[in-house]
Amino acid sequence: MLEEDIDTSTKQKLNLATKNANRLLSLINQLLDLSKLEAGKMTIETSASNIVPFLKSLLYSFESLAASRNISLNFLASTTPITVPFDADKLERVFFNLISNAIKFTEPGGTVTMSAEITDNNRTCITVADTGIGISESRLPYIFDRFYQVDSSSTRNYEGSGIGLAIVNEFIKLHNGSISVESRRADMISEKKSGTTFKIYLPLAEPNDEETEAPVKEPSLPQESPEINASGTVRNMLNFSLDKEILLLAEDNTEVREFIREQLENDYWVIEASNGKEALRLSEKEIPDLIISDLMMPEMDGMEFCEKLRQNEKTSHIPVIMLTARASHDSKLESLESGIDAFVTKPFKVKELKLRVRKLIEQRKKLREQFSTSAFLESNTASVADVDREFLAKTVRLIEESFNDENFKVSGLATSLNMSVSQFNRKLHGLAGQSPVQFIISVRLQRASKLLKISDKTISEIAYEVGYSDQAYFSRVFKKEFGVSPSEFKNSL
């Protein structure tokens, strides 16, 4: 709605709704993190890296925000590398929280400083200090408690949930580290100085730890998938026709699934599944033109679902768009290994999703044109998956072996490929853009054209060899395919 031509008042309300929705999303994600921590399901993947450039990039990613509030940012560290084994994603969220809090509680004209140094006991000490309003001494022992907020008239002007610092503390513990806080609050008129300093202590890397380059990236708000509680809707495919592409939507959240369907159903036929297992069954049965799948689903998640699609000869060609709330570099690499064609990160923009769908379908159409039977028989292009190339090769071989079989039917060919006729039709249309009958004719005529080039046999003999007992009919279909009659084709060689 924000992208539409609306009046200023309505746009302001929608912007406020978007801002509040993002706050709620962040809060829910933090609650989910706490739940994982309580269940012992939160793990970290550390690599030994120089932590200095990582910290520096995080601090200065807040530069525009700090400048807008007239707050100075300072970074202090020795030029000597400080090698620490750490999980970049987890520590990014730790320092995102600490830096954003420091800026939030610092008045205009103040300063936020980050520093890193090696201590005498072979650890690194990272500090985040501000010149903000400070925390009274009586409140300090409780600030890492879950859902605790410093509740006073001055601090209630600042938003918070009392969860962020609890998660910071837990993430530091996962790194075998510790965190402490020092603060001075100018409660009395005579007191001039105030501010808060957080100190994080982390163990240094062992001498034999292999050092890698730390990722330097912009901080991002953590996100999670919606709650798992939905039932799918399956539509009757008998009412579908090939005038629209068929999309399979696999999403466990009912509201999200209905919303996506509403955005796409005017342009595509949409079938739905509420979990990966149901989506796999429907994809094998209906052979859709494209699949949109959530990453986190019950029964079978999106990653496993995609892997099974790619391993199945019936469904290996279908392009997949993955909806994911967590799109880290590692998860993207893992997903690409599973055969996912595109990512759309939640919360997503409808325009982006529609564009991804349209572009992937257009790419598939171009591949169909390239790998029509004639092109396929001559081409070694690697842009089609090996399993799809093997499927087409097997199909062509079965057709060629049946040239002299008068009782040869599409149903028999589909059975030989372990498919129903409808599955075979959808698969072949998805790969070559042809019906089974058109495909068989193309294979026969392509073989006939080769024989006309290399053989001294008569046109009648060649027609019979590729399965045509009526030479006149063979000549008509040959001319329709190649634009010239068999005799003209042979004479032009």
Give pLDDT tens digits for 210-230: 555 555 444 333 333 322 222
What is the pLDDT confidence band of residue 330, given thresholds at 50, 70 and 90? low
217: CB partners within 8 A, 6+ apart = 57, 88, 92
Q: What mean pLDDT do residues 156-171 have?
A: 68
341 shares its domain with 391 = no
Tokens 């799809």 correspond to what residue?
388
pLDDT classification of 385: cutoffs 50, 70, 90: low
106 occurs within a structural domain: yes
Domain with residue 125: its CATH number is 3.30.565.10
Same domain for 58 and 187, yes or no, is: yes
Q: To the nearest whole percent, how much of the chain has pLDDT over 70? A: 79
Contacts of 229 (CB under 8 A, 6+ apart): 252, 253, 254
Q: Are 263 and 119 contained in the same domain?
A: no
Domain ranges, residue 139:
44-203
10 Å Cβ neighbour count for 19?
A: 10
Instruction: Sheet with 123-130: list strands edge to edge.
Output: 72-77, 111-118, 123-130, 195-203, 178-184
Q: Is the pLDDT of residue 238 over 80?
A: no
Residue at 109: amino acid letter: G
**Mean pLDDT over residues 245-270, rounded?**
89
Rounded Cα gap, residues 291 and 305, in angstroms: 11
Q: How far apart are CA 176 and CA 339, in angstroms?
A: 37
Query: 321, 323, 261: which is closest to 291 by C-alpha?
Result: 321
CB distance 439 to 327 below 8 Å: no
- pLDDT in the model for residue 471: 83
Residue type at 340? Answer: I
Residue where one domain finishes, among candidates 203, 223, 256: 203
Q: Has residue 13 been placed in a domain?
A: no
The answer to whether residue 18 sits within a structural domain is: no
For residue 179, what are its two tokens?
């965190």
Tokens, residue 171: 């993430």
The helix/strand/coil state of 28 is helix
Res 396 pLDDT > 70: yes
pLDDT in tens, 84-105: 999 988 898 899 889 988 998 8
The closest alpha carbon to 48, from 214, 174, 217, belongs to: 214
**Bigger pLDDT: 273 vs 143:** 273
For residue 244, the model assigns a pLDDT of 82
Instruction: Indicate whether 265 and 414 sit together in one domain.
Output: no
How many other CB atoms sit within 10 Å of the CB of residue 213?
A: 10
Q: How confident is the model at residue 176 (pLDDT cuts 50, 70, 90)?
A: very high
Peptide bond into 85 cis (omega under 30): no
Same domain, 284 and 403: no
Please report whether residue 192 resides in a domain. Answer: yes
Q: What angle do CA 106, 110, 111 make, to 5 degrees?
A: 95
Domain harbouring 415, CATH code: 1.10.10.60
Mean pLDDT computed over 175-203: 79
* pLDDT greater than 60 at residue 425: yes
Same domain, yes or no: 123 and 52: yes
Q: Are residues 309 and 420 in the same domain?
A: no
What is the C-alpha separation between 211 and 213, in angstroms, rounded? 7
| Number of neighbours of residue 46 by Cβ within 10 angstroms | 17
338, 381: one domain: no
Q: Domain check: are 194 and 249 in the same one?
A: no
State the helix-helix crossing angle for 276-286 and 302-311, rounded to 10 degrees.
30
- Residue 469 shares a structural domain with residue 398: yes
CA angle 415, 420, 425 (to 5 degrees): 105
Please measure the distance between the N-terminal and C-terminal CA atoms of the chain and give it in whole angstroms.
62
> 177 and 242 in one domain?
no
Q: Is residue 486 part of a domain?
A: yes
* Helical H segments across 175-289, by residue range: 254-264, 276-286
- Strand-pairing partners, residue 291, are 248, 320
Domain count, the chain: 3
Q: Does residue 462 share a domain with residue 417?
A: yes
